[in-house]
Structure 1
Amino acid sequence: MASYYPPVGFSFKVEFESLSTSEDDHSFQSVSGLSVDLETEEIAEGGENRFKHKIPVRSKFPNLVLKRGMLLNSEVIKWCKKAVENFQIEPKNITVKLLGENQEPLQTWNIVHAYPVKWNVGDFNAEESKLVIETLELTYQYFKVA
């Protein structure tokens, strides 16, 4: 019998630095974009025709995408609306915590200098009984895993 079981991905919390203390504002349905790619540059060496050297250049981080059921009177949405409607960009640090069985943090991602680049509200349809889902897309400089 295995002694280690990987953590489950359905228990997590998203916190926005100096933005909201409401527990509802920390709850999301999904988080994606916690990945990093190392960009490389190819350099040809004179006289060596079998291959090109690949040199690491920089890290590249995709946008962070957060989804949840629409929340009225959300401080996070007010922050997003300031950015997309009034062009008042106020970068925030964000913490994503993967939680264990007792709601203790197992791993933490500290996202640096994030701001919204897209806010989307899901479709309305009188023929379906679905929750209204809002999607926030944030760009950021980098993240650190703690």
Structure 2
Amino acid sequence: MADGTAQDEVWPLPKFYFNIDLGDGKTQGFSEISGLESEAKAIEYRHGDSAVFSPIKMPGLRSVGNVTLKKGVFTKDSIFWDWFNETQLNIIKRRTVIINLLNEKASPMMTWTLTNAFPVKMQATDMKSDASEVAIETLELAYETLAVKAA
């Protein structure tokens, strides 16, 4: 349990309790987040008089993937659609999106910050007459940088 003891460092954090601030100062609950990733491309280089007959590798440009957010559909709730509809050709309302992994006291234990995020894909729920599932909508965000911070 996360009560501030040394025992907290022994167990990994559970991944089911989290919230997101979509840049409007209000935290929202979501059912799933995926795509939090960063990658550095390797650059190969070999100078002409190198005694070693192979190139050396060094880190190059970093890139990040898109993040996918999923949440239940509620009456009078259109935050995904409202933000997606604000996006027009070359007119984008970029936001800083903060994802918090919480402990049982609702305190952030890990924080992922997406800078200059904007929606690139919106998907409404699928509908089936013979299903008894919750309606889930999906928003995909592109962003420029990812910062990860532990509590």
Deviation of residue 47 (structure 1)? 5.1
1:114 to 114, 117, 120: 117
CA distance in 1, matches of 2:79, 2:47: 55
CA distance in 1, matches of 2:36, 2:110: 13
CA distance in 2, matches of 1:134, 1:93: 21
Are 1:51 and 2:58 counterparts? no
Deviation of residue 78 (structure 1)? 0.6
Deviation of residue 64 (structure 1)? 0.9
SS in structure 1 at match of 2:48: coil
Are 1:8 and 2:2 counterparts? no
TM-score in terms of structure 1 length: 0.84
Deviation of residue 120 (structure 1)? 0.7
CA distance in 2, matches of 1:140, 1:6: 28
TM-score in terms of structure 2 length: 0.81
Does the CA contact (< 8 Å) of 2:124 and 2:136 recur in 1?
yes
Instruction: Among all aligned residue pairs of Structure 1 and Structure 2, give the percentage whose two residues are the same amino acid.
Output: 28
CA distance in 2, matches of 1:130, 1:105: 30
Q: Point out 4+ residue stretches in structure 1 off by more than 6 angstroms.
A: none
Q: Give the length in aligned residue pairs.
A: 139
Does the CA contact (< 8 Å) of 2:80 and 2:122 recur in 1?
no
Counterpart code for 2:20: V
Counterpart code for 2:14: V
Does the CA contact (< 8 Å) of 2:33 and 2:69 recur in 1?
yes
Q: Gapped runs of 5+ residues in structure 2?
A: 1-5
Partner of 2:81: 77
Counterpart code for 1:126: S
SS in structure 2 at match of 1:77: helix
- Farther-moved stretch of structure 1 (71-80 vs 44-53): 44-53
Deviation of residue 68 (structure 1)? 1.2
